[in-house]
Structure 1
Amino acid sequence: MRRLLLALGALAAAGAVHAQAQEFGYKDWAGACDNTRHCEIVGYQREEAELPVTLMLARDAGGSAPVQAWLMALSGDGEAANLSIRAGNVVIQGINGVLKPEQIARLLPALKKADTASVTDGKQQWELSLAGLNAALLKMDDLQGRVDTATALARPGSKPASSVPSALPAPLLRAAPVAATRASDAALLPKLLKALPANDCQDGPGADASLRHQVVRLTGRQVLLFVECVRGAYQSSYALWLANDKPPYAPQVLPLPLPGGERDDAPMEPEFNRGVLHTYGKGRGIGDCGDATEWLWTADGFQLLSATRAPMCRGMPGGGFPLRLWTARR
């Protein structure tokens, strides 16, 4: 029995390690694997190039999981349609977002041998950089336990597909009901602000600013307080507090878990709607890179629901295809 318990403990510890989101990047390619071992890599044009283009490759865990691919290019008129991509002597035509399995099977070997891939809609041409692609594929294989197996994309071997670890289950979250807003909730704001202990954003974004503090009701007794802390050129960071709606208000800083086990102490532009708290932090003003995170209101407080990141600022709105860091079921 003792040996069995030790073995189960070791397996649990191993699963916990692999359940953490992991990110990586090589030259013009970035990647991430989430808490289920689902992995994605995304590449762009060279940093000095003007026309934005991006390709994403994604794969679930497990020996039988196929590779999925998406292609996007932007022109002055918006997202281009009916794209063709050339890598070496291989040309794939008629792409509108998603690539078909047979197209991926033809294209991927050619991408691994080339330095760039040419993308066109018949009017304009984009150059997708492939610098870092092979390293990103190898890292994705490594994090999914595929290296030296028949399913590996970068370094296949003789090990069978059955040796590839299966996907981990996404956490199941149960939403808690959210109480309706009361007419008296707005009057709570000055009282709650006065009840706050000394904190890092006590002075707010400045005396001349029109403050964007807010009170949101969660339950019949508890509210969520949004306190604007720092206002930048295109976004603000906030402190969030849980408080009682009657004295003693007893405000407590809201802990918001992140995929890597850290806490978000300064969420950017938070919004609460239908039981979900959403934040989005731009990497720069045009919003071509940044982080989006969601937490679900549950009986155990706010639990991490989803997290994505667009790590490279290459001119594609929203990063084009942001990388998935965390997913949960509800």
Structure 2
Amino acid sequence: MKRQKRSCSTFLSVPASCVLLAMSMGSAAAQSAAATFSHKDWDLICDNTLTCRAAGYAKDGVDKGATVLLTRQAGRDTPVMNRVMLAHYDDGAGQRASPPDLLIAGRTAGPLAFAGDDSWQMNDAQAARFLAALKKDAPVSFRENGSDFSVSGAGSSAVLLKMDDVQGRVNTPGAILRKGANKESSVKMPVAAPVIHRAAVTDKALRPMTTQEAAVLRAPILRVLAADQDQVCTEDRLAEPWEVAQLNDNTLLVSAPCWLAAYNGGSAYFVINKHMRSAPVLVSDSGNDYENGKISSAMKGRGLGDCWSHQEWVWNGAEFVESARGDTGRCMAIRAGGAWDIPEYVSQVREP
């Protein structure tokens, strides 16, 4: 099963026009560093700091699969970190009594080390043999209590070459796949994560909107929604009670129930001037929660809940800016809640 596309009924759906972004030179550079690429059973996600993560999975239809996550920060001489997770969705993931063995072409390469959070780790020698096996298309699996959990090499060459390309490592000694004698001067340095200064807010939580507030606030927000051809809010959801929080003396945050699908739902979050001196501004139509100046959203990729997408926005005193975005990898029934934490966008949030 491939990484699922985002929509309101699965992963987050936030049109670009609905997200307020800080357009400083630093944030623009950070945004341009991000990259995603998928081929067959492998995915590549490079976040806005140029840290890249390659995730490999078992072939479709395999009963006992595994997933491997390879993470590398930008910059010269940075190591390739690895994590391994076996599929235990049905019986509950967790540390096993004994570590699994790495098997390459059916022969053991020794046991893995426990790495926390239900995952295991290959040592340097094992990781080198693992990468060599991928290049040769040799079968790779992990044996636990007599059962083999396989990971596919299909697509790994294309994804790892793309990782080297994004980070400027192709044909250098530090490349994962295509090593060469070129100088390391081509290797890109990390991009600094944008800094967001979270502003203090008056209300740390939403509260039910009063009848008087609803009489003033609902109409301008409904007009904004009616004028947006891409808006996804339904009449029955909008008819439900709304909530509000005061951000500062002149600004309110309004949450309106927006849409409901088979296993996800979202609310529309608007910033509005309490004196109606400007039009309401939509932050997201897929928010799930507000707490102390932060709007967050989490969506299942499918009903099993084995894959999730998340996004966050932080109030900086003038607007909500995106502070985090990512997902947990493919929907492969590895564990409830998803296998990995794979950021696509990160930031440094400075507290007031």
- Smaller-chain TM-score range? 0.7 to 0.9
Shift of 1:253: 2.3
> Percent of pairs identical after alignment?
27
CA distance in 1, matches of 2:163, 2:232: 45
Alignment-mate amino acid for residue 64 of structure 2: L
Distance of aligned partners of 1:225 and 1:44 in 2 relative to their CA distance in 1, 3 Å threshold: same
The aligned amino acid for 1:37 is L
User: Deviation at 1:38?
Assistant: 0.6
CA distance in 2 between partners of 1:52 and 1:212 (Å):
45
Q: Which is further off, 148-157 or 126-135?
A: 126-135
| CA positional deviation for 1:239 | 2.2
Q: Relative to structure 1, is the Cα distance of residues 311 and 184 closer, same or farther in structure 2, using a 3 angstrom cutoff?
A: closer
- CA displacement, residues 218-271 of structure 1 (integer Å, 9 cap, x when unaligned): 2232111122222111112332211133x437551234xxxxxxxxx532x421
Larger RCO of the pair (alpha carbons < 8 Å, separation 6+):
2
Query: Which aligned pairs between 1:6-45 and structure 2 lie closer than 5 A?
Result: 16=29, 19-45=32-58
Number of residue-to-residue matches in the alignment: 307
In structure 1, what is the Cα distance between the partners aligned to 2:81 and 2:141? 20
Find out whether 1:304 has 2:322 as its counterpart.
yes
Mapped to 1, the partners of 2:157 and 2:143 lie a distance apart of 23
| Contact 2:30 2:194 (C-alpha < 8 Å) held by counterparts | no
Among residues 238, 242, 248, which one is paired with 1:213 in the alignment? 242
Equivalent position amino acid for 1:121 in 2: E
Q: Distance in 2 between matches of 1:212 and 1:87?
A: 58
Aligned to 1:252: 280
Aligned partners of 1:289 and 1:319 also within 8 Å:
yes
Distance 1:135 1:223, change over 3 A: same
1:258 counterpart residue number: none
**In the alignment, structure 1 residue 137 sits paired with structure 2 residue 137:** no
Instruction: Tell whether the 8 Å contact from 2:205 to 2:291 is kept in structure 1 after alignment.
Output: no
Normalising by structure 2, what TM-score?
A: 0.77
Q: Which residue of 2 aligns with 1:261?
A: none
* 1:194 matches 2:219: yes
SS state of the match for residue 50, structure 2?
A: coil
Q: Aligned-pair RMSD on alpha carbons?
A: 3.0
Aligned partners of 1:155, 1:182: CA distance in 2, in Å? 52
Distance 1:304 1:209, change over 3 A: closer
- CA distance 1:285–1:250, shift in 2 (3 Å): farther
TM-score (ref. length: structure 1):
0.82
1:243 has 2:281 as partner? no
Q: Where do 5+ consecutive residues of structure 2 fail to align?
A: 1-24
Give the structure 2 partner of residue 87 of structure 1.
104
Q: Paired residue for 1:7?
A: none
**Where does structure 1 lack aligned partners over 5 or more consecutive residues?**
1-11, 256-264
Residue pair 1:19, 1:36 contacting (<8 A) in 2 also: no
